[in-house]
């Protein structure tokens, strides 16, 4: 199973600025598999340390000194093998179980950077946020998300179709047979999602009932994490927010409303629970912006936001969508008031490196789903579940702010319509590449 982050890991290995690596990401997104596969492809050997499975390992990171020379010497005796600089990848898995191992990354950077060290773990984002001795500036970071749609295409054997999609740099439409096939894959991705175990099950036998079982098991593990790792006072609030996400996204106005989570709920009571879910990698927050000026982060209103789940497949399971929805064809795209489509777009944008913002005009119903900051320009992006391209909000934004282009993603093929550039939903992650390469005029003649 191919993951795009393998290329980032190889770049990390070859970088002159390489430091110990911290690989972050939600539980069950495939961090352990990825690091082992990276070691298999790019190193002569793997030194795998799992601090949860083998609790004796913690003893080698205690004492008066965390000098790498001493740690390596002790580990070689314990593991009965040589640990070779540059030739072996040292993987510290479930590293959150040993805070001193996290702290030791600083000394591997300063005193023994010839050793290639990568750390990963469940809920690592939470532990790093709270760690008083985290080695700031002494590590490199990478984040792993659920499999993107392109990675899904690779997994299901549509490698040439994925390559063809990545070759597109402008706004010429794809041949209709390719467009139809990609739309079919997208419809199935909406159900399967990008969690590696669910994708592997789909590749194996396309047993959609079993895939939903996998989704429920993954969500069960998240809920157990609530009980095990979250502050006691936040546990019921985490469950309230988690259960409310589908209904919040089903609203015409998808702004997160606390009163709909629980009657009488107030933002300040739920903020820490929201932050916990975000640090755990389980949700994404899109912040509202009224005046879209650069940098967008400086204009964001943290009190007004939308919440998306990390994976569209898990969203379907949480909403109780059964495998029979697959027979509904296009209804799966337009049903649930666009919740699946918008959640899909959000997770594709996040994986492509775009922070999530949306435009909301003050005291107006005008709203644009996402704002993208590309090459020092702000572009509004409207998301449509079907093939209806009309958008009053997009034109309202244009009248007020005159962006270089108006962006839209629908089930329509790639096309230009005056100032509006449309790409199909399955290509929504390609905006950076297309806008950088196209050099289009603001208006077609």
pLDDT in tens, 65-119: 899 999 999 999 999 999 999 999 999 999 988 989 999 999 999 999 999 999 9
Q: Cα angle at 314 between 313 and 319, to 5 degrees?
A: 100
pLDDT of residue 444: 42
pLDDT in tens, 341-370: 999 999 999 999 999 999 998 777 779 999
Q: Which residues pair with 211 in a beta bridge?
A: none
Q: What's the pLDDT band for 126 if we cut at 50, 70, 90?
A: confident
CA distances from 213 to 210, 246, 323 (A): 5, 18, 11
Structural domains in the chain, sorted by start: 5-143 (3.40.50.300), 149-438 (no CATH)
In the sheet that holds 21-24, the strands lie side by side as 45-50, 88-93, 116-120, 21-24, 140-143
Q: Report the percentage of the chain scoring pLDDT > 90.
A: 77
pLDDT of residue 400: 93
Rounded to an integer, what distance in angstroms lies between the CA atom of residue 408 and that of residue 380? 8
Whether the CA torsion 50, 56, 62, 68 is positive or negative: it is: negative
pLDDT in tens, 276-319: 999 999 999 999 999 999 999 999 999 999 999 999 999 999 99
Backbone angles phi, psi at 109, to 5 degrees: -70, -45
Tokens (6 digits) for 292: 């879209």
Q: Report the percentage of the chain scoring pLDDT > 70.
A: 93
Question: Regarding predicted confidence, which is higher, 14 or 328?
Answer: 14
Rounded to an integer, what distance in angstroms lies between the CA atom of residue 117 and that of residue 115? 6
In the sheet that holds 415-417, the strands lie side by side as 370-374, 377-383, 406-410, 420-424, 415-417
Helix axes 208-229, 176-192, angle to 10 degrees: 50
Mean pLDDT of the chain: 91
């Amino acid at each position: 199973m191919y993951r795009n982050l393998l290329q980032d890991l190889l770049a990390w290995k070859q970088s002159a600025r390489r430091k110990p690596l911290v690989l972050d990401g939600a539980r069950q997104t495939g961090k352990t598999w990825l690091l082992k596969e990276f070691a298999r492809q790019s190193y002569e050997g793997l030194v795998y340390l799992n601090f949860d499975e083998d609790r004796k390992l913690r003893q080698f990171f205690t004492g008066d000194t965390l000098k790498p020379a001493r740690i390596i010497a002790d580990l070689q005796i314990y593991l009965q093998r040589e640990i070779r600089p540059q030739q072996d990848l040292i993987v510290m898995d479930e590293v959150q179980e040993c805070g001193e191992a996290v702290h030791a990354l600083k000394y591997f950077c300063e005193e023994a950077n010839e050793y290639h060290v990568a750390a990963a773990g469940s809920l690592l984002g939470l532990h790093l946020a709270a760690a008083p001795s985290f080695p700031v500036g002494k590590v490199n970071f990478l984040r792993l998300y659920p499999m993107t749609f392109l990675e899904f295409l690779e997994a299901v054997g549509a490698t040439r179709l994925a390559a063809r999609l990545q070759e597109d740099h402008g706004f010429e439409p794809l041949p209709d047979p390719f467009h139809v096939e990609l739309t079919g894959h997208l419809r199935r991705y909406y159900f399967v999602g990008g969690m590696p175990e669910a994708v592997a099950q789909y590749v194996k036998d396309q047993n959609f009932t079993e895939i939903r079982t996998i989704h429920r098991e993954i969500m069960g593990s998240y809920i157990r994490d609530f009980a095990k790792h979250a502050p006691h006072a936040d546990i019921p609030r985490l469950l309230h927010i988690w259960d409310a996400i589908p209904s919040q996204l089903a609203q015409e106005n998808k702004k997160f409303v606390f009163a709909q989570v629980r009657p009488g709920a107030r933002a300040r009571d739920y903020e820490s629970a929201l932050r916990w879910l975000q640090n755990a990698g389980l949700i994404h927050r899109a912040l509202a912006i009224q005046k879209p000026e650069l940098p967008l982060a400086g204009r964001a209103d943290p009190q007004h936001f939308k919440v998306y789940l990390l994976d569209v497949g898990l969203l379907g399971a949480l909403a109780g969508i059964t495998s029979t929805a697959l027979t509904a064809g296009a209804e799966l795209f337009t049903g649930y008031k666009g919740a699946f489509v918008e959640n899909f777009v959000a997770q594709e944008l996040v994986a492509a490196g775009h922070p999530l913002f949306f435009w909301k005009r003050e005291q107006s119903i005008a709203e644009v789903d996402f704002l993208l900051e590309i090459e020092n320009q702000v572009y509004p992006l409207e998301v449509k579940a079907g093939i209806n391209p009309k958008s009053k909000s997009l034109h309202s934004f244009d009248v007020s702010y005159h962006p270089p282009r108006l962006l839209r993603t629908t089930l329509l093929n790639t096309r230009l319509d005056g100032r509006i550039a449309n790409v199909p939903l399955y290509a929504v992650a390609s905006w950076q590449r297309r806008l950088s390469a196209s050099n289009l005029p603001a208006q077609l003649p």
